[in-house]
Structure 1
Amino acid sequence: MTNTPAPDPRAPHEPPTAARDDSAAITGHELLPDRRRRLIATAALGCAFLGMLDGTVTGTAMPKIVAQLGGTDTWYVWVVTAYLLTSTVTVPLYGRFSDLHGRRGPMLIGLGVFLAGSLACGAAPSITLLVAARALQGLGAGALLTVGMSVVRDLYPPSRMAGMVRMQSIMAVMLVAGMIGGPLVGGVLADHAGWRWAFLLNLPLGLVAAAVLAALLPRVRPAATAAVRLDLAGIALLTAGLSLVLLGLTLKGYGEHGRLRDWSDPMVGGPLLAGIVLLAALVAVERQAAVPIVPLRLFGHRAYAAIAAAGFFFQAAGLPAGIFLALYFQQVRGHTATASGLLLLPMLAGMVISNRLTAALIMRTGRPRPALLLGATLLTAGSIPFLTLDAATPIPLIACCLLLIGLGAGPAMGGAGIVAQNSVPRTDIGTATAGSMLTKQIGGAVSLACGQSLLAHHLAGAATAAGVARGVGVTLGWVGSVGGLLALVAIVLMPDLRVAGPGPAAGKPTAAAAQG
């Protein structure tokens, strides 16, 4: 009789590496023909792009929407906020459900809800119903980016490293295009075809993507979770907690009657405090759940915990430049809205360039950490000079700083996703992708709320052009440099994960990553 070694009691507590998990089983995607693989990836990325585009498409069309449907500035805010709130809150839910029950169902359900919401937006007879329809649209949009990127990762695992990095690069370019294209598409359609087409245009594009996914996306359901008991308590606490936190940050950022609310305002502090209490309760509940909606064990992977924190700070550092400099260009330098947008192009160009270079570097070395370290350094270096911004600062100097910020933010757009997906077991890819996206979105919301408070403080006693310039400069300098430095610290603490690379070690994590 052969003696079998006793199982190691430490085994259940040691997180398996992503590379070992990837090679363990066939999931229904590895044997797909290349043409089918490309069609599925194109449809998934197209859905993600629609979700991103609709986050910004109403900005330039809102004056005509309000003129036709009626409403005040408060309704103007909620047409945007309703979509962003529901799409953000549902991100972790869709990510987890796709891990437990397969990608196909959550993706098609989310796309169906998104298209139903788009149709309701296009047919809305009043501003109140438009806000409700935007909330419905956001409930579906949460699946488009999260599950869409998880589908792409299933199609292009580390064994197909070149394809995976290429898809991450395309996704990052789409994110930049969504930032630019949303307001542009909304303005053009509002001027020439009617604002309702900004929503109705989703229908033919989304139906084509739905047909492709329904016909070609494999039906893969993890056998180990075929009869999972739904974590209702976790879902309720997560949804309510995130909603209240985001609501408090939104109300802090927008204010009323031209005045920003204080952090102690009950409309701000109340939701924030209640949301934090519910999220703290979520941690206790998830520790006891058999199959938690938020698997806390993911944060036992040092690489994942570090990249989640880094993504938060990258977004917090880079986002305010594109928002507050538009105010500077228009109120201090006297440029039009169109000219202000063009003056921000160096930052967007930097994002595209650095993201593409990051993809090439990762493909060559298999190590995303150096690119992320360089990105955080450039982001910090580009933000610090804004502390000296005034009404006479040369435009070329501002453009150079914006280029540095763009070059610094670019590596996190694709690199953070690659690290998040390759630092956890394959069974948790959807949840990891959702968590990475969620921390970025919350980082952006926190930085805008803090930035607007800092700007309002500096403008309180000096509403002149010089005061606006000083306030914008101090805001961008402090928020950008502090966020960039904290992102740098998070990346320094991250294990040097190897997701792929030349030679026999390709696709295997380093010793440091395995210990993470």
Structure 2
Amino acid sequence: MTASDGYAHLTSRRRTLITLALLGCAFLAMLDGTVVGTALPRITEQIGGGDSWYVWLVTAYLLTSSISVPVYGRFSDLYGRRRLLLGGLALFLAGSLACGLAGSMEALIICRAGQGLGAGALLTLGMALIRDLNPPSRTEGLIRMQTAMGTMMVLGLVGGPIVGGALADHAGWRWAFWLNLPIGLAAAAVLGLVLPDRRPAGAPSGRLDIAGVLLLTAGLSLTLTGLSLKGTPDGGRVPSWTDPIVAGCLLGGPALLALLVPVERRASVPVLPLRLFRHRAYSALLTGGFFFQAAAMPVGILLPLYYQQVRGHSATTSGLLLLPLMAGMALSNRLTAAAILRSGRPKPALLTGAGLLTAGTAAFFALDGATPTALICGWLLIAGLGTGPAMGGITLATQNSVPAADMGTATAGSALAKQIGGTFGLACAQSLMGSHGTATASASAIGSTVAWCGAVAGVLALAAVFAMRDITVPTPRGRGLTPAPRAGDQAAAMPARS
């Protein structure tokens, strides 16, 4: 069975149903990454916890969803994607139910971590299945589905702050989690009944290295936990970098990740194949995606805090005031897809995005309690326009930067880099916020945190993309499609020709 005929027997109606279910999974994964932002003040009011817990609900979700991504991706290459996706969706829904029933902040954080373990499968395997349903022989369908996936991700990000705020104000914050149940159950029913159980063609044989999984999980967990602890005030005191727990995590995490390299070199089926990093474009795209997300994440999380604690707006209003950011993301994601479709070259769009993201976030250095709302909306719009190219654009480029047989692993690697980047950016923002040592967030603390994180990470994203050898992405040319050159080929630096 070839990669092009695994789902060839599916009718158009069944393909549509499966695609809608996969898009619904992506929507839920993105929605729950941001839904607690605007609802958190109401959550802490009802079940306890102060500002020191503000970012932990998001960090716990992003941490567990990040470390589970490569495991889901590699296991799906071995055993097929359907059962793993359904299992991840079941875990996500169970976590959502438990979050809605939680009676304390500690219990809610634990439930969010469990929810994140399931969410790691939703976006990653959803994107891989869309690629399976649209192999190189269906390039036009692939590009349309990548655009649809990017749009659904934006809708999830838009819906998070707005839905979280509206439910917190009118229906109760617990419904921000229970709302996942009907959507998730409908997607599970469609996938269980309509999606065939297929093992990807050319799946590698051998056992996934358990040692690699454990080292990766432990290394990432320790590193990101250390960064989060550094930014969390304890009894009004911000821990120092030499605090035993913080220093232990930040030294132990990278050490375990360093040990991962020789383990992966010896593994028959490594969880992170090191050979992929020989492709210069792949490495640059992963690095760029990491820093894009690190720059963008603090904006969407900290601005609701500014609107509510500094400006006195309701949770619903603070969510609506983020619409310029989301509108910019949606618009630029669509423009990026159109530009890549026309030229076949992702690099110019990614460079433009990194520049806009850097400029939009750096503007928040000027934020204070009296900054006009219209001006803040303008900054958010620019930041959103800069974030959009990193969504579908980086995924398309990543999938075309490695040999076709490694598409699933490359997709998981791209998603992992963005997930870790978001968690890292959030941890750095938390650390910067904690360094101000104030009981409540101030306008200057929020503005400088967003600006420092966004500007530094944006410049690094710009440098990573600039260093990338340009590649070409297949563009529709009737029935004759020009294959995309792979990273490392001499032709990879040439634009697609008509």
Post-superposition CA distance 1:220-264 (Å, at most 9, x none) = 214654752231111111111111122122223333345443333
**Mapped pair 1:483 → 2:457:** yes
Give 1:310's match in structure 2, choosing from 282, 288, 295. Answer: 288
**2:482 is the alignment partner of 1:494:** no
Judge conservation of contact 2:89–2:122 (CA < 8 Å) in 1. yes
CA displacement, residues 365-402 of structure 1 (integer Å, 9 cap, x when unaligned): 22211111111122223334444445555544433332
Contact kept? 2:17, 2:190, Cα under 8 Å: yes
Deviations 1:69-116 (CA, angstroms, capped at 9, x unpaired): 566767776554443322221111101111222211211221122223
Q: Is 2:158 aligned against 1:207?
A: no
1:99-498 paired onto structure 2 within 5 Å: 99-124=77-102, 129-190=107-168, 192-222=170-200, 225=203, 227-329=205-307, 337-390=315-368, 393-455=371-433, 457=435, 459=436, 468-498=442-472
Superimposed CA distance per residue, residues 290-342 of structure 1 (whole angstroms, 9 cap, x where no aligned partner): 11111111111222111100011111222233344445555665655544444
SS state at 1:54 partner: helix
**Residue deviations 1:42-84 (CA, integer Å, cap 9, x gap):** 1111112122223333445556656665667677765544433
Counterparts of 2:106 and 2:367 in 1: how far apart (Å)? 41
Give how far 1:33 is off.
2.5
Q: Does 1:42 align with 2:20?
A: yes
CA–CA separation in structure 2 for the residues paired with 1:130 and 1:247: 17
Letter in structure 2 aligned against 1:246: L
Structure 1 residues 420-443: Cα deviation after superposition (integer angstroms, max 9, x where no partner): 122223332232222212222222
For normalisation by structure 2, the TM-score amounts to 0.87
Following superposition, the deviation at residue 269 of structure 1 comes to 2.2
Cα 1:333–1:68, aligned 2, differ >3 Å: closer, same or farther?
closer
Give distance in 2, aligned partners of 1:506 and 1:87: 36
CA distance in 2, matches of 1:334, 1:201: 27
CA distance in 2, matches of 1:130, 1:479: 27
* CA deviation profile, 1:3-30 (whole Å, cap 9, x unmatched): xxxxxxxxxxxxxxxxxxxx96435124
Aligned pair count?
Answer: 490
Is contact 1:322-1:344 (8 Å) kept? yes
Choose from 480, 489, 494 the match for 1:514.
489
Question: How has the CA–CA distance of structure 1 residues 225 and 358 changed in structure 2, closer, same or farther, with 3 Å as cutoff?
Answer: closer
* Structure 1 unaligned spans of 5+: 1-22
C-alpha separation in 2, matches of 1:46 and 1:308: 25
Q: Distance in 2 between matches of 1:211 and 1:332?
A: 45
Root-mean-square deviation (CA), in Å? 3.2
Residue of structure 2 equivalent to 1:5: none
Of all paired residues, the percent bearing the same amino acid is 61
1:96 aligns with 2:74: yes
Report if the CA contact (8 A) 1:161-1:363 is conserved.
no
Aligned-residue offset at 1:186: 3.7
* Structure with max Cα Rg: 1
Bigger drift between 73-82 and 382-391 goes to 73-82
> For structure 1, which segment, 410-419 or 492-501, has the greater mean C-alpha deviation from structure 2 after superposition?
492-501
Matched residue type, 2:376:
I
- Is residue 317–residue 484 contact of structure 1 (8 Å, CA) maintained in 2? yes
Q: Secondary structure at the match of 1:501?
A: coil
Structure 1 residues 292 and 370: alpha-carbon distance in aligned structure 2, compared to 1, 3 A threshold:
same
Range moving further from structure 2, 148-157 or 306-315 = 148-157
Tell me the CA shift for residue 344 of structure 1. Answer: 3.0
Unaligned stretches of 5+ residues in structure 2: 493-498
Give, as a single letter, the amino acid of the residue that structure 2 aligns with 1:489.
A
2:61 counterpart letter in structure 1? Y
CA spacing shift, 1:289–1:36, aligned 2, 3 Å:
same
CA contact (8 A) 1:497 1:513 kept: no
**Distance in structure 1 (CA, Å) of the matches to 2:3 and 2:86:** 25
Q: CA deviation at 1:130?
A: 4.2
Partner Cα separation in structure 1 for residue 107 and residue 303 of structure 2: 33
C-alpha separation in 2, matches of 1:198 and 1:321: 21
The separation in 1 between residues aligned to 2:189 and 2:332, in whole angstroms, is: 35
Distance (Å, rounded) in 1 between the aligned partners of 2:311 and 2:318: 10
In the superposition, the TM-score normalised over structure 1's length comes to 0.84
- State whether residues 361 and 383 of structure 2, in contact with CA within 8 Å, keep that contact through their aligned partners in structure 1: yes
Is residue 166–residue 315 contact of structure 2 (8 Å, CA) maintained in 1? no
8 A contact 1:118–1:203 mirrored in 2: yes
Q: Structure 1's 120 and 362: CA in aligned 2 closer, same or farther, altered over 3 A?
A: same
Kept in 2: contact 1:157–1:164 (CA 8 A)? yes
